[in-house]
Amino acid sequence: MRVETTELEDVLLFTPEPFRDERGLFTRTFDAHIFDDAVARRASSRRPVRAADFVQDSQSRSVRGVIRGMHCRSGEGEAKLVRCAHGAIYDVLVDVRRTSPTFGRTQAFTLDDDTFAHLFVPPGLLHGFQALTDCADVCYRIDREHDPAEDVAVAYDDPDLAIAWPLPVSSVSARDAAAASWASLMKSL
């Protein structure tokens, strides 16, 4: 499994190396030892995350053009390991950690069912994605139980973020359509 650093502090991209033959393929989608080693060597997070910390797996299914995000959690935050199990997504992160050298920066990734790349999202980053294919199944491994009282959302189309979504937006949830602005989040931090 290849592990790459990204432009955002503590964010890592894990890309498996599938075995392919005439039958199809086989790949390991997660390896706790590789994860723990990579995070321990590279991460400077205020709350270190280990593979054993992941307590919840969730999955979403979206149709082409749907945007889910931009979300994060207040309090201790939430670490995620995100992958696209079917189809492809345009995945976007925004660093909202005031003490981070990459505070306020945005980075986008394409996650798909061809490369099987996993994106490690440490606590303190806004996360969202747009489905690029007719059907996109996204799997999230999360290190804390969900507490709706800690949910934070910023508008996916906030002009201060200026995220260049690759497709016309086909749908967003009512919650995401009513999300706060980047400026209001900055006032609350």
Provide the annotated active-site residues: 71, 140
The alpha helices in the chain, defined as continuous H runs, are 32-42, 174-177, 182-188
Output the CA–CA distances (angstroms, integers) from residue 41 to 10, 36, 37, 178, in the order listed: 10, 8, 6, 39
Burial label for 105, CB within 10 Å (0-12, 13-18, 19+), is: middle
Output the CA–CA distances (angstroms, integers) from residue 51 to 3, 55, 141, in the order listed: 15, 9, 10
Q: What are phi and psi of 137, to 5 degrees?
A: -100, 120
Q: What are phi and psi of 123, to 5 degrees?
A: -60, 145
How many angstroms separate the most distant Cα atoms in the chain?
A: 56
Of 163, 167, 3, residue with least CA distance to 69: 163
Q: CA 69, CA 117: separation in Å to the nearest integer?
A: 20
